[in-house]
């Protein structure tokens, strides 16, 4: 279901026998943007809200707002029926947990058998997957209402060396809701923009390197990239099993913590999940403490001098951390050159290996990366904005048995782990903070993305947890702050992120400004 059809479908949902309150937050009786999952659950438990009303309100807002940002590319035709089933469970005292009845959007590289799962590519639009991704099954078992699918940077931004984040052949260009001609960052661009614009309570993104935290920073929301293996990748279109992970994108840290508790778990089809420690928390939200920063030692990787607004936001964040009782130590992360020089060569080999495996287990064509390259050359849309240089490099890359590849992957991963682990140990730190992003750049197909700085790579390549929380603004453009630490320390970085969010609330509702020049 492509975007114009989606908007008609939403309009049909709202026009069908739904009352006027479904189209207006004010009639709900509370501010939907600022409401957390616990607050929504409390209202539903008291009978002051139903999942049907909540779902209808989000569907109405998609119809009213998404034409400006183009973040939602497919809807679940069963969303209202699933919400009604949640309400029935609640009436009978059989709710399934804190996500029961909560509307969730999925990035469109997550397999769903009732909706398309295209990775943004027209090559996958004709034949949907046979099965749902494991994470979708976990969400549904937790009672979540799947609203639909979000646009993404096509193939998770791993097609061209000069790609434009937020564009796909299926969904077109997703815009940043703060300033519409600015970029939402990739590749979970639709998920980030949709949550910022209050089109769902939760969205699921995926990250290989930056694709959860960057769109979270540039869209003024919370994004948590879990430890590699904490959330199953089965049924998610891959780049690399060595770095890929799904994770929650929300407006509040507590919502990310609740969602992660539902998403996490072992999956025999994804060996990385079998390494989850037995003592990993089952309820992350219960571990969020307002005083989590008191007595903590936090390293700050400033990356100073690249952007004056980022430097100001980081300085303000450091002052907040200190005011809440944290000791802050300036650090520089070592081994970044080794990580940067080896990450892409490793990913090229892994992409061909893992994508070919995924395609071989999905019905229809294409069946290989080679088939995709040929499809794109023949398609009138796919190469209209930028090329497929990374596809071609991956097709020509050495096999996963190649000594050069094996050395590149070992060097990239071990260097990234040492960059974090050694820094934490040297300075006796609990976590490291760094700016998530610089202010969003203008979307420009001729020049591609214009990154100035980011901090995602060490945690992404190491497979360690990373959470971005709103921290400040450059004019109307958001800037996020990332907290990351060692393997399986998701509870710790979520707690620090929540304490910072409480101490210095920085989220603003987007105004959909057309341009700022």
| Phi, then psi, of 74 in degrees rounded to 5 | -155, 150
Catalytic residue among 107, 149, 225, 324: 107
CB 96 within 8 A of CB 142: yes
CA distance linking residue 119 with residue 121, whole number of Å: 5
User: Quick one: CA dihedral 431, 432, 433, 438, positive or negative?
Assistant: negative
Nearest alpha carbon to residue 441 among 214, 200, 261, 132: 214
Q: What is the dihedral of CA 294, 258, 117, 235, to 10 degrees?
A: 90
CA distance linking residue 414 with residue 466, whole number of Å: 17
Catalytic residue among 121, 187, 240, 438: 187
What is the side-by-side order of every strand in the sheet holding 103-107? 72-75, 145-150, 103-107, 202-207, 245-250, 222-225, 466-474, 477-484, 431-435, 297-300, 327-330
Q: Is 51 in the active site? A: no
Q: Is 107 in the active site? A: yes
Report strand pairing: 297-300 vs 327-330: parallel
Q: Is 187 in the active site? A: yes
Q: Give 363's Cβ-side CA count (13 Å radius).
A: 9
CB 506 within 8 A of CB 471: yes
CA distance linking residue 183 with residue 62, whole number of Å: 20
Element housing 148 (H / E): strand 145-150
CB 488 within 8 A of CB 421: no
From the number of C-beta atoms within 10 Å of its C-beta (0-12, 13-18, 19+), residue 158 rates as buried
Q: How far is CA 496 from CA 56, 224, 325, 347, in A?
A: 34, 12, 12, 31
CB 288 within 8 A of CB 257: yes
CA distance linking residue 424 with residue 489, whole number of Å: 12
CA triple 388-5-237, angle to 5 deg: 40
422: number of Cβ within 10 Å: 13
Nearest alpha carbon to residue 262 among 142, 106, 144, 105: 142
CA distance linking residue 210 with residue 216, whole number of Å: 9
Tokens describing residue 211:
């694709």
Tokens describing residue 503:
């101490």
308: number of Cβ within 10 Å: 10
CB 84 within 8 A of CB 77: no
| Phi, then psi, of 505 in degrees rounded to 5 | -60, 120
Report strand pairing: 477-484 vs 431-435: antiparallel
Catalytic residue among 211, 216, 240, 419: 211
Residues known to be catalytic: 107, 187, 211
């Amino acid at each position: 279901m492509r975007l114009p059809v989606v908007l008609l479908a939403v309009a049909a949902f709202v026009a069908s026998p739904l009352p006027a309150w479904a189209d207006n937050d004010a009639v709900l009786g509370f501010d939907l943007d600022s409401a957390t999952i616990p607050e929504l659950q409390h209202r539903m438990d008291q009978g002051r809200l139903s999942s049907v009303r909540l779902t209808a309100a989000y569907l109405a807002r998609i119809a009213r707002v998404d034409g400006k940002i183009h973040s939602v590319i497919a809807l679940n035709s069963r969303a209202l029926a699933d919400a009604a089933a949640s309400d029935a469970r609640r009436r009978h005292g059989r709710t399934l947990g804190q996500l029961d009845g909560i509307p969730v959007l999925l990035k469109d590289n997550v397999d769903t058998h009732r909706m398309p799962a295209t990775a943004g590519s027209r090559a996958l639009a004709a034949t949907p997957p046979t099965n749902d991704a494991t994470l979708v099954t976990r969400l549904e078992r937790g009672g979540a209402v799947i609203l639909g699918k979000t646009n993404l940077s096509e193939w998770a931004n791993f097609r061209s060396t000069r790609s434009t984040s937020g564009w796909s052949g299926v969904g077109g260009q997703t815009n940043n809701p703060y300033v519409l001609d600015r970029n939402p960052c990739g590749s979970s661009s639709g998920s980030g923009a949709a949550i910022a614009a209050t089109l769902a309570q939760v969205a699921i993104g995926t990250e290989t390197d930056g694709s959860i935290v960057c769109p979270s920073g540039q869209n003024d929301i919370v994004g948590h990239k879990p430890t590699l293996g904490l959330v199953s990748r089965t049924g998610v279109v891959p780049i690399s099993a060595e770095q890929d992970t799904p994770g929650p994108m929300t407006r509040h840290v507590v919502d990310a913590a609740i969602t992660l508790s539902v998403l996490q778990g072992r999956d025999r089809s994804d060996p990385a999940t079998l390494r989850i420690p037995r003592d990993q928390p089952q309820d992350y939200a219960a571990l969020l403490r307002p005083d989590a920063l008191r007595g903590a030692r936090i390293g700050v990787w400033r990356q100073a001098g690249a952007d004056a607004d980022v430097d100001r936001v980081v300085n303000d964040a450091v002052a907040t951390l200190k005011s809440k009782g944290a000791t802050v130590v300036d650090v520089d992360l070592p081994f970044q050159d080794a990580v940067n020089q080896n990450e892409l060569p490793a990913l090229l080999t892994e992409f061909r290996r893992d994508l070919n495996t995924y395609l071989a287990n999905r019905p229809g064509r294409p069946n290989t990366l080679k088939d995709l390259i040929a499809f794109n050359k023949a398609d009138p849309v796919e190469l209209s904005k930028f090329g497929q240089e990374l596809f071609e490099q991956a097709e020509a890359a050495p096999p996963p048995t190649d000594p050069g590849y094996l050395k590149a992957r070992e060097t990239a991963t071990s260097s990234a782990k040492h960059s974090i682990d050694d820094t934490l140990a040297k300075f006796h730190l609990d976590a490291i903070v760094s700016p998530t992003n610089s202010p969003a750049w203008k979307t420009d197909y001729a020049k591609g993305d214009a990154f100035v700085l980011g901090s995602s790579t060490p945690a992404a390549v190491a497979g360690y947890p990373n959470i971005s929380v709103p921290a400040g603004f450059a004019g109307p453009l958001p800037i996020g702050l990332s907290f990351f630490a060692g393997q399986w320390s998701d509870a710790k970085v979520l707690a620090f992120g929540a304490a910072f969010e409480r101490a210095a609330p920085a989220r603003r509702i987007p105004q959909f400004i057309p341009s700022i020049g």
